[in-house]
Amino acid sequence: MNQDKEVYPGYLIESLLAQGPVTVVYSAIDLASGLPCVIKTVRLDYLYEKQALAFLKNEIKVLETIKHAACPVLLKSNIEIQPFFFVMEKVEGCTLRHELERKFSFSPPVVIEISRQILSFLSNLHGIGFTHGDIKPENILIGQSKKIKIVDFAFSSNVRMNEKLETNLMLGTPNYIAPELCAEIPVISLENDIYSLGVLIFEMLTGSLPHPEGTISQTLLRHQSDPPAKLRQKLGELNPKFINAIVDMLSFDLHDRPKAKNLLDIFVKFEIENMVSG
């Protein structure tokens, strides 16, 4: 059976939104309410059903637990019988990746506004012990008035309960992954997200990554051994406190990275300063 012919009771599939190695995301209509929604399900050709179901359960657990403006609303889940899937609200807008490809980089005030929203969410998420696990432009949706939603919690871990995914897949995306996740025995911590967000902020400001791109093996080796090249020079004439915050987020030692709640306070102050000076 073709994936797009799979039946999701009560929903009409409209179009394919995204697909990865394990899951597929569709735009759909809730037939009962007539409202648009998003369905995330397991690829039919993925061989490891138990692992795929664990990814879906991970996302559902986070969506059920976190109540935050930047978190999509979970509408329904089915993890009992095939097809396994869950339904969440549809966010009108585009990904941060799309905006970066269109604009190359953003002004510091825009970067601060987007980052503050992400940090507000991470502060909430980390406060109850969960990591996001894959902060990157593709997982940040920008809606009206630059309001964001954060998606894709498949790699999330509850570090407080020591609940970690058992998977043979890399826990993250190479260009954004924290160095400690590149170790032979990956270290899962809340600070993984802080590093990834540091990479994202650097990219939003400069249009480039703090490390040169390469193959997966080259990127992982670089993240394990090489400090980001000339970070301060690449960031130009920004507020020194802003630069310091980004450099601290990109520390190779996870213990040197600031906590999300502390960074949130810092970025709120940056935003206020921009409003006053503007």
Q: Phi and psi at residue 94, in whole multiples of 5°?
A: -140, 170
Tokens standing for residue 135: 């902060």
Residue 152 appears among annotated catalytic residues: no
Smallest CA-to-CA distance from 109 within 235, 209, 242, 263 is with 242
Of 4, 30, 45, 134, the active-site residue reads 134
Angle made by CA atoms 162, 135, 130, in degrees to the nearest 5: 25
User: In whole angstroms, what is the distance from residue 151 CA to residue 148 CA?
Assistant: 10
List, in order, residues 6 or more apart from 127 with CB less than 8 Å away.
261
Sheet-wide strand order for 36-42:
11-19, 23-30, 36-42, 85-89, 74-78
Positive or negative CA dihedral for 251, 107, 240, 120? negative
Place of tokens 């012990």: 129
Known catalytic residues? 134
